[in-house]
Amino acid sequence: MVVQRYLNRTPLYSYAGLSELLGCQAYVKHENHQPIGAFKVRGGLNLVSRLSEDERKRGVITASTGNHGQSIAYAARTFGVKAIVVVPHGNNPDKVKAIQRLGADVIFAGKDFDEAREYVERVSREKGYRYIHSANEPLLIAGVGTIGLEIVEDLPDVDVVLVPVGGGSGASGISTAVKSINPDIQIMGVQSSEAPAAYLSWREGKPVSSEIMRTFAEGLATRVGFAMTVEIMKRNLSDFILVSDDEIRRAMRLLLEETHNVAEGAGAASLAGAIKIKDRLAGKRVAMILSGGNVTMDTLRQVLSTH
């Protein structure tokens, strides 16, 4: 498999402090240890490796707040494909710099991810680039599904897996892989209540939009649900938990204190969700996806200075 050929397996570690806090056997899947600092690189490599010759010649374009863009840039560099990544104005500057260092061209458009995505959809039609959607891509979903396979291989008796949700590719891929091995394992999505579009879409069973989109956790920040991932999540998720941004910040501090790992907002969401439902997790074996660690120093300072 392409993912195994180009990426090292990420660790699944148990932490006594988190286990004591949650009253369960708590494990963290460290996708923050990926070369781009986030899980999405798995999907990017899988998709770009399978582009046709015509698509490779035309080049690819995508919209991102950062981690997906880095994923596509990393994969495009790996396979010699030109990549354009469109980010919203005011985007995380560290992530923009990382995308550029990986060789992709960066364009700023729109005030948020969804406006950047709308710009990309228009430009891809006009210029003939291969548009890579951040969620509605089976090969992206299949690539990130390898996280689920690794969890079940390393912890066959896992009871619950908690996954942060933005566009839903991670939750879709992981849940599909895990459920194919053991349908009794519970998969739970976690999203910020300050950007609940995916949660609302899951609840309704169809893509819906939300007027609320003000979370600091850019990896969770979408205004609309996406058809492919909503359908998969509706089928596979046992539950979907909303957490506040303050609960995410607390989880970021806890991860730094208990695991000595820096988590971005989205990466800490799974722990925030576990804390919120810890009574339901008592005595179980629980794996939490730390999906990424790409947080700016300014955001980290703000998180550490609040209590």
Active site residue 180: no
Q: Distance (Å, rounded) from C-alpha 257 to C-alpha 92?
A: 24
Active site residue 291: yes
Task: Give the side-chain half-sphere CA count within 13 A for 185.
Answer: 25
Tokens standing for residue 291 = 């999906």
* CA nearest neighbour of 149 among 105, 186, 179: 179
Helical residues (DSSP H) of 67-162, grouped into ranges: 67-79, 93-101, 113-127, 138-144, 146-154
Concatenating the DSSP letter of every residue in 3-56 gives HHHHSPPPPEEE-HHHHHHHTSEEEEEEGGGSTTSBTTHHHHHHHHHT--HHHH
Catalytic residue among 210, 284, 291, 305: 291
Q: Which residues contact 3 (CB under 8 A, 6 or more apart)?
A: 42, 45, 46, 143, 146
* CA nearest neighbour of 164 among 265, 281, 302: 265
Q: Which residues contact 28 (CB under 8 A, 6 or more apart)?
A: 12, 13, 15, 18, 255, 259, 261, 271, 287, 288, 290
Catalytic residue among 40, 64, 95, 134: 40
Three-class secondary structure of residue 260 per DSSP: coil
Are the C-beta atoms of 289 and 31 separated by less than 8 Å? yes
Q: Distance (Å, rounded) from C-alpha 132 to C-alpha 74?
A: 14
In the block, tokens 């896992």 appear at 158
Q: How far is CA 92 from CA 69, 163, 177, 211, in A?
A: 12, 22, 31, 22
- Positions marked active-site: 40, 291
